[in-house]
Every structure is written in structure tokens, then in C-alpha cells.
Structure 1
Amino acid sequence: MLKITSAKVVVTCPGRNFVTLKIETSDGVHGLGDATLNGRELAVASYLTDHVIPLLIGRDAHTIEDIWQFLYRGAYWRRGPVTMAAIAAVDTALWDIKAKVAGLPLYQLLGGASRGGCMVYGHANGADIDKTIEAALVYQAEGYRAIRLQSGVPGLSSTYGVSKDRYFYEPADAALPTENIWSTEKYLRTVPELFRRAREALGWDVHLLHDAHHRLTPIEAARLGKDLEPYRPFWLEDAVAADNQANFRLIRQHTTTPLAVGEVFNSIWDAKQLIEEQLIDYIRATVVHAGGITHLRRIASFADLHNVRTGCHGATDLSPVCMAAALHFGLSVPNFGVQEYMRHTEETDTVFPHAYSFDRGLMHPGDAPGLGVDLDEALAAQYEYKPAYLPVNRLEDGTMWNW
């Protein structure tokens, strides 16, 4: 028996807030799990400290499946972003421990490598189409095989995905939510032109992606998908909010543009209809928000039966602990599609030293035992938590809308 002797939550802000769970065992091996929930970080920290950690002490760290079931079924109030992020942190930390004890990188315990590396996509964005194309050319020169395109929309003062810095996009920008103004009509006039220009500049040997960020109605999404078909996008992401999974039927009826969704999903139940009716092509659920490696593997296996591939969320609101877990997962699953990759700041990388690496458009988790990520607690303590909310969206007439 490998007894769990202690566990603690570390909250740090090396440029943005991260919540990390550290579990220690009787033989001195420790594991890390990401528990970050952007804009609601302290809710998960409290859930772990006050309600989960007391349940872990004395348990066998090797019984990952049983502990997952205990935390999920035993809570009675199932699912939800706070609960599932907390379970994910425990699950990831336990997998980290198991792999370290085995002396193997985690992907070897998940069945070994299914490929030489995980294709990742970078984020090209700019205040207008010219600047977005300029940024995309830089990514292409750096070896990226897949690039997400987001551009400012004429007539709107701010647009989702357009950052102040070319590499480090952090939308949680204020202690209280900022309010952005949105116009679907103006947006729909801009995106097809963005893709037309991108194909002219970048050619056809690079995958191009786009994120609508839940802002369209199904028929608007269908129209956009159809308009983009000549430019063969890799995917149209989050075309509509997936609270009603059947919304994707209407989109599917009108366009062959591949569809991706799921970064806000908590469990397989959020994606069940989408996958089994083959209404999407990529499932974007991620380790920290979908119950950890144990549950994400279930989602991927179910998706594989229906020819749906993975495309895990990988924004900077996921720590290097989660990025490493995503890469071990992505390297091992047979139906891997692509991995989002937004670079962390130098401060974050120093707090979380890691073994994963980028080379010619692919990332590899490395061969260090476990996740291959550690936490410098002394340095983490120097970066105090800062309240930071994601923005909210309103239409031009003042109506609240999806951000």
C-alpha cells in the first residue's frame, strides 16, 4: 500500500492565477494536479482544502479508479466545473505518482506512444486582417503545422482572441468583469475574408482553425461554415453554446466544415449526444475541466467509436501541469487530432519547470518519470493571488450575450 500522507493546495499568480494540488505519499513520492478554473480559482481551492483533502489522507495512492469513483459518486452533487476540476487535480496527481513509482513517463502507463509527437496549433491574431496574416506567417516560419486565426472586427472596439501581446493572451483582465460589445453581423462579414487572405498568404500546406466562442445561433454558424468551405478550415470551434447539444444538428445539415466543441465540458454527459450522433468532429474537453486523465480517457474512447478525434483545450488558463498531462494523454490515444498550445510566460515556466518540448510543429511530453513537471513552492509563494475575471459580452443594444 502506498499511503497518502498529506496534500495541500498552492495558489500562485506568475502572470496569471493557477491552482495546484500536491499529494505526498508514505514513500516520499509526490504528485501534482492542476485545479485552475479561470475566474473561479478560489472556489476550487476551497473545495479541495475543505472537502476533498480530508478524504484522501490514509488512502492507497495506487487505487486511482476507486478514488475517482469515491469523489464522483460519493459527493451526491455530481459534475459541475468546481467539482470536476477538483477531481481532475486529484486524479492527475495520482497518475503522476503512479508513473514516478514505476520510473516511467506517464504515457507509457497509458499504453505507450501512438505517434512521435502531438501536433499543436498556435494563435495568430491581430487588430485587423493584415496584422493577423503577419502573425500567422511568423508561426508558419517557426514550424507550426496548424494555426488558429482570430482578427479584430471593423466597428467593434474589442474582439475575442485578439491579444495585446502576440504570444501571451490572457482574457481575464480585471478585478471585476469588463464589458465587451458584440455584433454577429459585422463578425460574419469579416471571417471569410480573413480565411481567403490567409490561404493566399500561407498556402494549403498548413491547417487553419477559427474559434467563434459560442457567439452564433445554429443557422448563423451554418452560414459561416458554408462560407468557409472553399478555404478548407481544419475546424470551426465553439460555433454555438452546446448547452443544447441538438443545436449542432442544424449546423451539420448545412455545412461540411469540421466542427469542434467542448472546452467548457465537465463530463462525458456533456458530449454524449454530440459524439454518438456524430454532430462534431473534434472533442475539446481537457484534463483539468473534465475530471482528469481517467475520465478524459473514457471520453476519448467513446469518441473513437464514432470517428471523433481529440482537440484538447490548451490556453494559458491551464498550468504547465495540465499541459504535460494533455501531452501524455494525446501521445497515447489512438484518435488524437490536435493540441492547442498557448505559451506560458517565463515566470510561469520558472515556477513550473517541465520536460515537455516543441519541435517543428509537434510537442512531446518528454521521458522524465511521471508528468515531467515540478513546482517551485518557494518561488510560487512570491506571486500572490490577484482577483481576475473573464469579460462579459453585450450586443450593441445592451442585451447580455455569450462571451
Structure 2
Amino acid sequence: MIIEKAEVIVTSPDRNFVTLKLTTDEGHTGLGDATLNGRELAVATYLSEHIVPLLVGSDASRIEDTWQFLYRSSYWRRGPVTMASIAAVDMALWDIKGKAAGMPLYQLLGGASRRGLTAYGHASGKELPELFDSVREHLDEGYRAIRIQSGVPGLKAIYGIASQSADTFGGEARYDHEPARRGEKPVEEDWDTRAYLKHLPGVFEAVRNEFGPDIPLLHDGHHRMTPIQAAKLGKSLEPYDLFWLEDCTPAENQEALKLVRQHTTTPLAIGEIFNTVWDFKDLIRDQLIDYVRGAVTHMGGVTPLKKTMDYAALYQVKSGFHGPTDISPVGMAAQMHVGLAIHNFGMQEYMRHGAKTDEVFRQSFTWTDGLLHPGDQPGLGVELDQDEAGKYPYERAYLPYNRLADGTVHDW
């Protein structure tokens, strides 16, 4: 199977997406997700100017060799732009291979290890009544696990609170369930770690009192704490039995997780902004984390993500793949196939895409009784409607950023 055509498609139905479409001489097509939230055009250019010329005329069946070539031949390895570009190629080649074999991707990865993927939803509220309503809505939608994000007294706008957008941004609709805002400049948010650490344990106490001890609860710290602050939070949340505490401190400093581990038994999930197994290697080997938060779109594709999880299995570390709506339906489908096949699956993040996105990307995956399944169509099970995609040109958008009360830029 020879690649005859490679197209880079940028579309913005509910938000910006970058998709690679490969077509072979036998008529098979494959899709790959290359979306890098807030930096989409950097990846689109990398693909169109540097990767596409290398693909046309090459053998679509040589997935491992192609991955190694794109990773090693560039000399400048790793990084989000490079790895998202390689990821798109890798996904598209697996999609083609599945279609050529007449099998869904998970069958090529060894077959299903479970009936479906348990997923968690994002409940949030500025205050407890609003948070409780959000939890109930997610339970009604079938979610069996819930991420809890709460407003903090004295802070106007912080990460993860769905309802704050209309108040903060003048009544505008949210940008497809995500904090990225379309516009020429990023939005500034405020932050106070001390106030957050003081407030959050009471939130979880109230949620447990309202909904009982059985629902798996999660929380995202979003890289905002120092190691000792993260340790303090993990310890203070132990009575509420979290399924995991996510991104409690910036994990570029891998030694930091040793300090957190010394002080808390709250399970830790790390790595949604990591790009390779090398970012995870020491954290897994030293058993400093419990869940791998990597995303197929940002870690170079199906090939390296599967390898990372095979390595993690040696240390009883499970998957917790990143799954917001800045992972396109193509990337989400690829992650579902990996999650269905691996033995050490833990939990899948799942946020529903908007209606326009679902028209552009026609999907076969299902959400039934709290379980995701990628479907049994050959390949990834997602098709791109290019006419529909053409209706939605790229619109500049940025993620927000944080400043402390004294004006200092803080981690977002």
C-alpha cells in the first residue's frame, strides 16, 4: 500500500482541530489527530511543510519504521509540535491497516480486554449547590466516576468551572466545554493557592456527605502547587477516598513526586502534557504515580502509547488517558482502542464534543451504561466530512493564564 496523497485539514466547528488524511493507491484512507490546543497552526505547518513531502510515495504498511524515521531523522526530537505531528501519521497508518484488514484497531492490538471503558465526567460549580446539581446531571448521563472542581471564595475565574464563563466573559457561550477562548489575546485568570488549599477539603467532605462513599471522585490540581503544597493537599483529601489527584505539581521536576509520595496515600495521575515515554520513565519505574495521563495525540500516536502502557504494567501503573474536547474524535477513538486492548486500563476522561464537531467527524464509538466502546468498524471508526469541515475556518484561540494577587504570572 503506497501513500498517494496526504492532506492537512484545519477546521473549527466548535473549536480548532488539525487532522491528517492519508490516501493509498488501493483507495484506503486514514485519519490522524494533530490538534495542539492554542498552537494548532504550528503543527499544521510542521505537517504540511516537513512531514507530508516525506510521506507521499512511502509504504503505508510500515508503521513502526515510519514512526522511527520521523522521530529520529529530524534530529530535534520530542516536543509537543513534533510529537503531535508524528501522532497524526501514526494514527492514520493504523486506521489504514485496520481498514485493509477489515478489523477495528483494538483487534490488531490483541483484542478486547474488557466490555468497555469506564469514563469520568467533569462536574463543577462556583458554590456547593451548583456543584451538586452538576454531579447529579453527570450521574443521570451515566457517568460512574466524577471529577470535582469547585470555585474558591475570593477568586473570580479559575480552571474547570463551567458556569464561570458566562459571568467572566460577558454572557458569551463557552468554547465547546473548554476554557480556550477565541480572540487575539489570552484571558487572564486569578489564583491563590493558600485559599484553594483551605477551601477544597470542605468541598469533598460536602460531596461525600451528599452523594455517599461509593462514587469514585477525582480532582485536577492543574500544576498549581509546589511539591509540599501538593503533599499537604493529598494528605488532607485522604478521608474522602479520591480515585486520583491529578497534576498536583508541575512534573517536569520529577523529584518533586518523591516528596508528595512521602506524605500522602492519595493516588496520583500525572502527564497530560507529556510527549514521550521518557517523560514517564522515572515516574513509572520509581512508582511515583498510579495513572498515566498521556494522550495518543500528544505522545506520538498509538505505537508509543501502547509501549508506554506495556512498560507501566510492569509496575502496576494504570492508564488515565487525557480526554477533553481538544482531543478530536479521531484522537479519542484511537485512545479508546488502546484502552480497550491493554490489560492495565484504569479510567478514561470523556467530554462530549459539540454538535457541529459531530457533523464534521462521523463516529462509531458508543457511550452506554457508563462505558465507552470504540465500535467495530474497520480502523479507528471515524470518518471526516470534508465538505462539512470546510464550513468552519480556523479561528485564533488561546488558553487562559494565571496571575497571583500581586501580579505574578503563575502556573495554569
AA of the residue aligned to 1:17: N
Measured after TM superposition, the shift of residue 194 of structure 1 is: 1.3
Measured after TM superposition, the shift of residue 144 of structure 1 is: 1.2
Which residue in 2 is equivalent to 1:80?
79
Measured after TM superposition, the shift of residue 192 of structure 1 is: 0.7
How far apart, CA to CA, are the structure 2 residues paired with 1:338 and 1:121?
Answer: 7
1:343 aligns with 2:352: yes
Which residue in 2 is equivalent to 1:311?
320
Which residue in 2 is equivalent to 1:119?
118
What whole-Å deviation, never above 9, does each CA across 1:282-316 have from its counterpart, x for those lacking one? 01001000000001011101111111100000001
1:269 aligns with 2:268: no
How far apart, CA to CA, are the structure 2 residues paired with 1:349 and 1:387?
Answer: 21
1:251 aligns with 2:291: no
1:383 aligns with 2:392: yes
Measured after TM superposition, the shift of residue 400 of structure 1 is: 1.0
Measured after TM superposition, the shift of residue 143 of structure 1 is: 2.2
1:194 aligns with 2:203: yes
How far apart, CA to CA, are the structure 1 residues paired with 2:182 and 2:194?
Answer: 28
What whole-Å deviation, never above 9, does each CA across 1:150-205 have from its counterpart, x for those lacking one? 01111000011012479942211142111111000111122111111111122122
Contact 2:37/2:326 (<8 A) preserved = yes
Report matched runs for 1:1-400 at 5 Å.
2-164=1-163, 168-175=176-183, 176-400=185-409
Contact 2:14/2:175 (<8 A) preserved = no
Measured after TM superposition, the shift of residue 272 of structure 1 is: 1.0
User: Residue 234 of structure 1 aligns to a residue in which SS?
Assistant: strand
Contact 2:123/2:134 (<8 A) preserved = yes
User: Residue 77 of structure 1 aligns to a residue in which SS?
Assistant: coil
How far apart, CA to CA, are the structure 2 residues paired with 1:269 and 1:46?
Answer: 26
AA of the residue aligned to 1:296: L
User: Residue 210 of structure 1 aligns to a residue in which SS?
Assistant: strand
How far apart, CA to CA, are the structure 2 residues paired with 1:357 and 1:204?
Answer: 28
What is the percent sequence identity of the aligned residues? 59
How far apart, CA to CA, are the structure 2 residues paired with 1:275 and 1:20?
Answer: 31
What whole-Å deviation, never above 9, does each CA across 1:126-158 have from its counterpart, x for those lacking one? 111221121112212222111000011110000
Measured after TM superposition, the shift of residue 268 of structure 1 is: 0.6
Contact 2:119/2:372 (<8 A) preserved = yes
How far apart, CA to CA, are the structure 1 residues paired with 2:214 and 2:232?
Answer: 25
AA of the residue aligned to 1:293: V
Which runs of 5 or more residues in structure 1 are unaligned?
Answer: none
AA of the residue aligned to 1:185: R
Measured after TM superposition, the shift of residue 363 of structure 1 is: 0.4
CA RMSD of aligned residues (A): 1.1
Q: Once superposed, which parts of structure 1, at least 4 consecutive aligned residues long, lie more than 2 Å away?
A: 164-168
User: Residue 271 of structure 1 aligns to a residue in which SS?
Assistant: helix
AA of the residue aligned to 1:319: S
TM-score normalised by L of structure 2: 0.96
How far apart, CA to CA, are the structure 1 residues paired with 2:175 and 2:22?
Answer: 32
How far apart, CA to CA, are the structure 1 residues paired with 2:156 and 2:255?
Answer: 33
How far apart, CA to CA, are the structure 2 residues paired with 1:168 and 1:44?
Answer: 21
Contact 1:135/1:166 (<8 A) preserved = no
Aligned residues: 402
What whole-Å deviation, never above 9, does each CA across 1:251-272 have from its counterpart, x for those lacking one? 0000000000110000011111
TM-score normalised by L of structure 1: 0.98
User: Residue 23 of structure 2 aligns to a residue in which SS?
Assistant: strand
Distance 1:184 1:273, change over 3 A: same
How far apart, CA to CA, are the structure 1 residues paired with 2:363 and 2:298?
Answer: 21
How far apart, CA to CA, are the structure 2 residues paired with 1:327 and 1:40?
Answer: 25
How far apart, CA to CA, are the structure 2 residues paired with 1:253 and 1:220?
Answer: 13
AA of the residue aligned to 2:408: T
AA of the residue aligned to 1:354: Q
Which runs of 5 or more residues in structure 2 are unaligned?
Answer: 164-172
